Structures are given as structure tokens and as C-alpha cells.
């Protein structure tokens, strides 16, 4: 009996491990790419030329931080903050500034429960430096990364310990909200979000995203709980064919009904994320002294860039593999 239950847990762990990479991508690959891409069009004319020229890079590399999660141990904490860990009034308990938060709670604790808003600030700083140096590849890299983390701050479930409904028997809700819904209806979203604006206090702005997102966690969970109780199992899921394999997914009807009950929350959040990403890029550029981007050349030819990307992907794959071989299960 004991032996059997050990077997069961082994297979459960293996199963979780196998499905984790699919369910833990924030915003899904589709959403992140779309957010970075559309954010380009919020920029002022002085920035637009450069960003448009490299829009494929900005788009495709929007998901690098998620790819890195399996290769770099420190990466995971940058995508979320489980704010409810910090008591009943977490925003009063947890200092907004990294230095003060670290003194109060220790860095280990902060890393364990996520560092997203502080990492947004770090990336803004790096992007600002890249602008000052006129370093084209770093401008692109950090813009793509910063866009990712700002977008993550707009996902309600990235601010809660119950991030995938695992504490309330709603396992999978993470992917339903941030991947399934945008993938089903994202093409029809209204992407006219206005112009990027200058952010006076970036760290307060980042905390603002988290506060808004966290206030939405209750409805995200509650609406699904109610819908689930009203929906027979065979209507909740469907089997979808992808290439040679088939996967059990939330049915289109279920996802759409959930989205209606949330009053298109995913679209609203995606629009807010796009404007925020553009505004952070713009702020970095202004803080760097508004350098002339037309003079900044990417000193790599298209072939070199392609080769560098291929190399990067290969390394990621290799590291990913090593990581698996070491038996890490997160
Ligand atoms: Zn992420």
C-alpha cells in the first residue's frame, strides 16, 4: 500500500512536471508577443522608427523571460509577487522600496514570494543605461524583457499565492484566464490604447499595477467557481488536436462564458498592459536624455543577428535539458 502510494506520488510529480511548462507561462506566448508588438505603436515619432524597424525582435523576444525560467534559477521570482503572503493588509505591511522591504523581511523571503515590481524597476534602469550608451542590442533585449515583466504585473493571478487555483480546487485557471481566453478572442480586441506617457515614479507605478491586479483576484476565482458549479464536466472541457497530439482544454463555450462574466477582463488588462509597456520604454528613453535613435545602428547584420538568436536558443535548450536532468521539479 505504502509502496503504491509512493508510486502514485512519483507519477503525480512527473505529471505536474510535464504539464508545468505549458501552464505556467504568463499571458501565454501569444499574449506576451502581442503586448510587446502593439506597445511599439504607442511610442512618439522619435522612437517609433527604431522600434518599428526591430518590431520582429521585440515581438519574438517578448517570451525570453519565460524561456529562461527553466534555465536560470533566479528567473522565476521576477514574474510574480504573492502579495497575500504579507498579511491581511499586505500593501501596508510590505515596504514599496526594495531596500526597506529587504530590511523588514530578508531577501530570501522576498525572493520566495516574488519580486516582480522591483524587477520592473531594475529593468527600467538597465534599459535607460542601454539608451545612454546607444547600445542597440541591449535596447532591444531590455525593451523585450521589460515589456514581459510589466505585462505580468497586469495578470491578477500573478499577485496571489493561489496562482493556479491549486488552493481552491480550480487547478488550471491560470492558463484559462491568461492563455485560453486571449488566444480565443484576442484577435478581436480593441488595440487602440492611446499614446505612451512619462512615468514620474516608476516604482509607485509598478506597485499600482500590482494593487489593481490583486483587487481583481477575488472575481477571477469566484466567477470560475460559480461557472464550474453550473457546468457539467463534459461541457467544461474539450479535446483539441494539435499536430499529432491531442490535449484536454477548457471548451470554447466555457472560456467564452467565463470571459463574459468577467466583463472582458482579459482584454481590459491586455490593453492596460500595452499602454504601460510603451510608457515604461518611453520613460527610459526620456530619462536617458532622449537620444537620437535614428543614429543608433544595430551593429549586427541580419545574418549575424539570426545566428546569435539561434545560438541563444540552443543554449537555452541545453540549459533547460540540464535543469531537467538535475531533477528539479518546481
Ligand atoms: Zn512571465
Tens of pLDDT along 163-172?
A: 999 999 999 9
Tens of pLDDT along 52-61?
A: 999 999 999 9
Q: What pLDDT score was predicted for residue 35? A: 97
The CATH number assigned to the domain holding 164 equals 1.10.575.10
How far, in Å, is the centroid of ligand 1 from the Cα of 179?
12
What whole-number percentage of the chain has pLDDT above 70? 84
How far, in Å, is the centroid of ligand 1 from the Cα of 148?
6
Q: What pLDDT score was predicted for residue 248? A: 86
Q: Is residue 64 part of a domain?
A: yes
Tens of pLDDT along 236-249?
A: 999 888 778 888 89
How far is C-alpha 201 from the geometric centre of its chain's CA atoms? 22
Tens of pLDDT along 77-130?
A: 999 999 999 999 999 999 999 999 999 999 999 999 999 999 999 999 999 999
How far, in Å, is the centroid of ligand 1 from the Cα of 102?
23
Q: What pLDDT score was predicted for residue 251? A: 94
Q: Is residue 192 part of a domain?
A: yes
What whole-number percentage of the chain has pLDDT above 90? 71
**Which residue range(s) make up the domain with 47?**
24-214+267-318
Of 186-190, 212-216, 229-233, the poorest mean pLDDT is in 186-190
Q: Is residue 169 part of a domain?
A: yes
How far, in Å, is the centroid of ligand 1 from the Cα of 137?
21
> What would the mean pLDDT of 10-14 be, rounded to a whole number?
48
In angstroms, rounded to a whole number, what is the distance separating the alpha carbons of residues 328 and 330? 6
How far, in Å, is the centroid of ligand 1 from the Cα of 176?
15
| Most confident among 2-6, 207-211, 309-313 (mean pLDDT) | 207-211
Q: What pLDDT score was predicted for residue 319? A: 45
How far, in Å, is the centroid of ligand 1 from the Cα of 24?
8
In angstroms, rounded to a whole number, what is the distance separating the alpha carbons of residues 100 and 103? 5
- Left, alpha or beta for 80 (phi > 0: left; psi -120 to 50: alpha)? beta
> What would the mean pLDDT of 35-62 be, rounded to a whole number?
96
Q: Is residue 222 part of a domain?
A: no
How far, in Å, is the centroid of ligand 1 from the Cα of 232?
32
Task: Check whether 26 has a pLDDT greater than 80.
Answer: no
If one counts the domains in the chain, the total is: 1
How far, in Å, is the centroid of ligand 1 from the Cα of 153?
9
Tens of pLDDT along 263-302?
A: 999 999 999 999 999 999 999 999 999 999 998 877 766 7
Q: Is residue 232 part of a domain?
A: no
State how beta strands 237-242 and 245-250 pair.
antiparallel
Q: Is residue 18 part of a domain?
A: no
How far, in Å, is the centroid of ligand 1 from the Cα of 65?
6
Q: Is residue 228 part of a domain?
A: no
Q: Is residue 238 part of a domain?
A: no
Amino acid at each position: 500500500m505504502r509502496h503504491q502510494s509512493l508510486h502514485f506520488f512519483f507519477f503525480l510529480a512527473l505529471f505536474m512536471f510535464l504539464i508545468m511548462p505549458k501552464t505556467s507561462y504568463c499571458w501565454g506566448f501569444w499574449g506576451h508577443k502581442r503586448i510587446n508588438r502593439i506597445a511599439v505603436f504607442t511610442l512618439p515619432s522619435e522612437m517609433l522608427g527604431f522600434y518599428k524597424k526591430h518590431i520582429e525582435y521585440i515581438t519574438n523576444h517578448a517570451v525570453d523571460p519565460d524561456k529562461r525560467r527553466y534555465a536560470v534559477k533566479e528567473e522565476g521570482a521576477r514574474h510574480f509577487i504573492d502579495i497575500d503572503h504579507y498579511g491581511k493588509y499586505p500593501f501596508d505591511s510590505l515596504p514599496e522600496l526594495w531596500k526597506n522591504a529587504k530590511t523588514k523581511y530578508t531577501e530570501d523571503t522576498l525572493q520566495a514570494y516574488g519580486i516582480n515590481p522591483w524587477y520592473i524597476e531594475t529593468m527600467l534602469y538597465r534599459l535607460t543605461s542601454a539608451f545612454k550608451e546607444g547600445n542597440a542590442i541591449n535596447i532591444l533585449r531590455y525593451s523585450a524583457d521589460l515589456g514581459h515583466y510589466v505585462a505580468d504585473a497586469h495578470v491578477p493571478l500573478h499577485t496571489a499565492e493561489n496562482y493556479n487555483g491549486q488552493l481552491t480546487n480550480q487547478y488550471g485557471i491560470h492558463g484559462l484566464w491568461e492563455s485560453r481566453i486571449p488566444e480565443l478572442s484576442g484577435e478581436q480586441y480593441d488595440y487602440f490604447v492611446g499614446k505612451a506617457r512619462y512615468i514620474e515614479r516608476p516604482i509607485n507605478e509598478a506597485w499600482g499595477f500590482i494593487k489593481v491586479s490583486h483587487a481583481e483576484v477575488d472575481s477571477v476565482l469566484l466567477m470560475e467557481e460559480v461557472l464550474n458549479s453550473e457546468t457539467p464536466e463534459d461541457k467544461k472541457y474539450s479535446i483539441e488536436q494539435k499536430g499529432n497530439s491531442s490535449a484536454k482544454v477548457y471548451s470554447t463555450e466555457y472560456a467564452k462564458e467565463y470571459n463574459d462574466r468577467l466583463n472582458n477582463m482579459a482584454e481590459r488588462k491586455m490593453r492596460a498592459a500595452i499602454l504601460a509597456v510603451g510608457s515604461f520604454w518611453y520613460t527610459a528613453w526620456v530619462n536617458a536624455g532622449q537620444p537620437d535613435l535614428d543614429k543608433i545602428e544595430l551593429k549586427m547584420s541580419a545574418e549575424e543577428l539570426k545566428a546569435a538568436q539561434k545560438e541563444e536558443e540552443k543554449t537555452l535548450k541545453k540549459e533547460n535539458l540540464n535543469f531537467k536532468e538535475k531533477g528539479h521539479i518546481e
